[in-house]
């Protein structure tokens, strides 16, 4: 609670788990997600990672009709917050920073499960 007290979380209205980037993974990889477009999928949040520069939830994307919706990102997550002048893409490095002792991690037990829709942005 103390950590988030003075942090503006308005960006949560745009919160998302990136499945793939057109530039990094290719147009075909992104297009392959069209079979899931508009469909509901469970997302399980299993850990909170944070520092003075950012916070994110580790995410595990579920299945649609028994087919796993697999994120191509090395570390699927939802960025909750970044400090001014810290790009959201920096959250991709959070697990490495945790292993270096530069950020903190709390396991969520039990995990938090939400339902989201697959969409293109």
**pLDDT number for residue 86:** 93
Q: How many CA atoms lie within 13 A of 43 on its CB side?
A: 22
Whether 7 has a pLDDT exceeding 70, the answer reads no
Q: Is 60 helix (H, G, I), strand (E, B) or coil?
A: strand
Whether 46 has a pLDDT exceeding 80, the answer reads yes
Q: What single-letter DSSP state applies at residue 54?
A: E
Gyration radius from the chain CA atoms: 15
Average pLDDT for the chain: 88
Q: What is the pTM of this model?
A: 0.85
Instruction: Identify the H or E element spanning 112.
Output: strand 104-117
* Proportion of the chain above pLDDT 70, given as a percent: 88
How many angstroms separate the CA atoms of 50 and 90, rounded? 12
102-121 per-position pLDDT tens digit: 999 999 999 999 999 999 87
How many angstroms separate the CA atoms of 109 and 77, rounded? 17
């Amino acid at each position: 609670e103390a950590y988030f007290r003075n942090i503006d979380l308005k960006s949560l209205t745009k919160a998302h788990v990136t499945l793939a980037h057109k530039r990094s993974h290719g147009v075909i990889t992104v297009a392959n997600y069209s079979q899931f477009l508009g469909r509901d999928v469970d997302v399980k949040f299993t850990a909170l990672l944070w520092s003075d520069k950012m916070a994110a939830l580790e995410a595990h994307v579920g299945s649609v009709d028994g087919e796993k919706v697999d994120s191509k990102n090395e570390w699927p997550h939802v960025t909750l917050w970044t400090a001014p002048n810290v790009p959201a893409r920096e959250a991709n490095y959070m697990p490495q920073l945790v292993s270096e002792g530069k950020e903190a991690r709390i396991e969520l037990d039990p995990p938090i499960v939400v339902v989201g829709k697959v969409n293109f942005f």
